[in-house]
Structure 1
Amino acid sequence: MKLTTLPNGLRVASREMPGIETAAVGLYAETGSRNEPARLNGIAHLFEHMVFKGAGGRSAREISEAIEDVGGDLNACTDRETTSFTASVMAEHLPLGVELIADLVQRPHFNADELEREKDVVLQELGEARDTPNDIIFDDLQSAAYADQPLGRSVLGTEETIDAVAVSDLDDWRQIHYRAGSLTLVAAGKVDHERLVDLAVSRFGGLAAGTGGAPEPARFTGGDRVGRASSDQAHLALGFGAPGQTDPDYYAARLFSDAVGGGMSSRLFQQLREERGLAYSVYSLLQPWAETGLFSIYAATARRQSAAAAQLIEEVLADAAETITERELQRVRTQAKAGLLMSLESPWGQAHYVARQIQTYGRLVKPADVIADVERVDLDQIRAAGRKMLSGPRARATIGFPAVRAA
């Protein structure tokens, strides 16, 4: 891994992979839905959509043709803390990938008529999410966990906030949040670092220095969100405050989550699905952000079995915090190491890993160092992390789950 910082603050990182003939390149912006003002909730995601409507002298069609003419792929993604613009290309076409990404974020063709059409597309995306209980329930859980805070709002926004976005708001968003100090250009695969730096200087050297500013700090509040559904299926999501990515307890908390519901051998899967047949889908996950995290459990069950499923989940969680075994710790530790190493075997896995480390720690962190942190977690630490998360306030979101009562 190599890292260079340009005079304007843009970070340029690469990971050369011998034997690879392709390259993955992405521009990662340290901005997402938690950076938005309440009245413009959804603008980060809408901005990501709108830049593809035309940029840098190319129309939307010409952008698509430019990347697909060389067998490549161009995409983007918005989440709560990050927006990324990415391209996969054969190695010789890396300059084109960088050029297109640079045009998207620096020279978009924002047009009022296009904006209104794209709002309709985003509203369809929002409607599709709302029609999918196992999708929208996590937005409901987030809203309950971080009530009345930017981190608790949906990435997609609402009908009212999407409708409120004007072309001038998109321009302001770009000028504020796409400054060089908030951006990282990362490439992996068949990549020469010095050549990547030259491309970055050429395409991004004129970007204004500085950053878009830190988002509002988040505080886990807990609470309930109840949704109704006209199907026989019921959905439950529980959430607990958890460590952020840089917290010393992060890896212990993550391994606790994995032991509880991270796979087919986990306690939740074995007891709810295999032994009792109470749920088809049941799992847990830990989502870290800069200063906080969310440990969540999700289950989909028949309405008639909802009370039994909810009760068993509570029992499994309480028992796990006291009785996680050394064998379970060894299993989830091995799974964590294997998952990391397997992901790093692709250019995209390497690019995402490098970007994540830079944005989290401000520096390159070797995979061996991450593995060492995982290895250091002992049985007392994993149990303590579980007890700490479960002893705090909780968030709960349900859809078609009338049997769940406040704990």
Structure 2
Amino acid sequence: MMQLSHLPNGLRVASREMPGIETAAVGLYVDSGSRHESARLNGIAHLFEHMVFKGAGSRTAREISEAIEDVGGDLNACTDRDSTSFTASVMAEHIPLGIELIADMILAPHFAKAELEREKDVVLQELGEARDTPSDIIFDDLQSAAFADQPLGRSILGSEESIETITADDLHEWRQAHYRAGSLTLVAAGKVEHARLVDLAGSRFADLPPGSPAAPDPAGFTGGNRVGRAASDQAHLALGFQGPAQLAGDYYAARLFIDVLGGGMSSRLFQQVREDRGLAYTVYAMLQPWRDIGLFSIYAATARSQSASAVQLIEEIVGDSVATMTQRELDRVRTQAKAGLLMSLESSWGQAHYVARQLSLHDRLVDPAEVVADLEAVTLDQLRAAGAKMLAGPRARATIGVPAVRAA
């Protein structure tokens, strides 16, 4: 059963008890990420996430690691463009420790100057590693082309210039502005008692200031091209189109259209580009939705010698897709989507992430049956209309090692 409570300061506390397991997933989810950053502070959300592990409360970085691993647990964090999360996997009896560690990291990070300079070097190495990996960096290139000169188009990792300028004062100001009770959700799933979770949240997070940070500026899909070079045998292509926002009326129709096109081994892109022609090992399509807009993208990695043929075939498949999609294809991807959702909810982390995401979007608990009903309601005409709408707009294109071709 899913349960939801609110602390007096506005912090949401949600739980999903799962009988039959002895562990728990605990996470603090923050409605703030890289798209909330100014250009000068690009990368600060991700650097903040790193720095809270470098000492918080009464513990050093080493003591934080030892505290969670002494009880067989795991502590982690992740920064996205619209959110940040801090998570702990623990045996059920150690839920209080997991919450204590997360609370200390958010409420009392040290941000020591020497640690900050060292961690900047670590982040710069992470940035360098991403740039040396074409299959990673091409998605930053596509994001930059799709949302040019906007926060949503900037790298989550930041740049060398922006990372170098961030100070401890900047980190403290970021925490004060963005880590407010109204934008935070504490979620636990697994062997958890809701009343006990609320008590723990109250004891650790009651002093968080109320309110929420200002919403980021709405994003606009610009489209454009980014051409990269890499000394490798592989060529990489990413195409982007404006997709629907998470709460748009045609979101599920668009999602299923994209799944037919490139969502699995039976998809059109996989079957025709890889299986029939052998032009790429990796080829797929996906939808990344945010509150105000979405990005529909297609990615393929192919040999340089075959890249022109692969690009041409992908363009042909995309161009033919709207008019030829069938009821059988819709029924198949709908079943896959329902199965994927329900399978993910069999794990404590799947439950925790699901509850946190739905609360962020709807500010209420959403039974998975509602999502299944939305998927069931999509018709073939709606699927085709959603696809036509996305493909009719401007496009973004990022390539590494692909020769210039005329867009379809």
Tell me the TM-score normalised to structure 1 length. Answer: 0.99
Pairs aligned (count) = 407
1:5-404 correspondence to structure 2 within 5 Å? 5-404=6-405
Q: Offset at 1:213?
A: 1.3
Contact 1:56 1:108 in 2 (8 A): yes
Q: How far did 1:163 drift? A: 0.3
Superposed CA deviations along residues 2-46 of structure 1, whole A, max 9, x for unmatched, are 111111010000000011110000000000000000001000000
**1:198-241: CA deviations, max 9, x gaps?**
00100001110011110111011100000011222110000000
Q: For residues 122 and 208 of structure 1, what CA distance do their matches in structure 2 show?
A: 29
Code of the residue aligned with 1:277 in structure 2: it is: G
The more displaced of 125-134 and 303-312 is 303-312
**Contact 1:28–1:185 at 8 Å: present in 2 too?**
yes
Between the aligned partners of 1:162 and 1:127, the Cα distance in structure 2 is 13
Q: Secondary structure at the match of 1:8?
A: coil
Q: For residue 197 of structure 2, what is the amino acid of its counterpart? A: L
Work out the CA distance in 2 between the residues paired with 1:402 and 1:275: 23
CA–CA distance in structure 2, aligned partners of residues 313 and 133 of structure 1: 19
> What SS does the corresponding residue of 1:109 show, helix, strand or coil?
coil
Deviation, structure 1 residue 405: 3.2
Instruction: Answer yes or no: is the 8 Å Cα contact 1:240–1:390 preserved in 2.
Output: yes
Secondary structure at the aligned position of 2:27 is classed as: strand
Deviation at 1:311, TM superposition (A): 1.0
**Counterpart Cα distance in 2 of 1:97 and 1:229:** 43
Residue type matched to 1:182 in 2? S
Contact 1:181 1:211 in 2 (8 A): yes
Alpha-carbon offset, residue 178 of structure 1:
0.3
Cα RMSD (Å) of the superposition?
A: 0.7
Gaps (5+ residues) in structure 1? none
1:406 Cα deviation (Å)? 3.8
TM-score normalised over the length of structure 2: 0.99
1:362-389 C-alpha deviation (Å, 9 max, x unpaired): 1111000000000000100111111110
In the TM superposition, what is the alpha-carbon distance from 1:290 to its structure 2 partner? 0.6
Q: How far apart in 2 are the matches of 1:404 and 1:355?
A: 43
5+ unaligned residues in a row in structure 2: which ranges? none
**Contact 1:177 1:211 survives alignment (8 Å):** yes
Structure 1 Cα separation of the partners of residues 259 and 133 of structure 2 = 25
Q: Deviation per CA, 1:149-175, whole angstroms, max 9, x where unpaired?
A: 000000000000000100000000000
Q: Is the 8 Å Cα contact of residues 243 and 288 (structure 1) preserved in structure 2?
A: yes
Q: Give 2:214's aligned amino acid.
A: G
Letter in 2 for 1:111: A
1:326-352 residue CA offsets vs partner (Å, 9 max, x unmatched):
110010000000000000000000000
Q: Percent identity?
A: 77
Which amino acid letter does the alignment assign opposite residue 361 of structure 2?
A: T
In 2, Cα distance between equivalents of 1:361 and 1:218: 20
- Cα deviation for residue 404 of structure 1 reads 2.9
Q: Which digits, 9 at most, give the CA deviation of each residue in 1:62-97, with x for residues without a partner?
A: 000000000000000001000000000000000000
- The offset of 1:319, in angstroms, is 1.2
SS in 2 for 1:239: strand
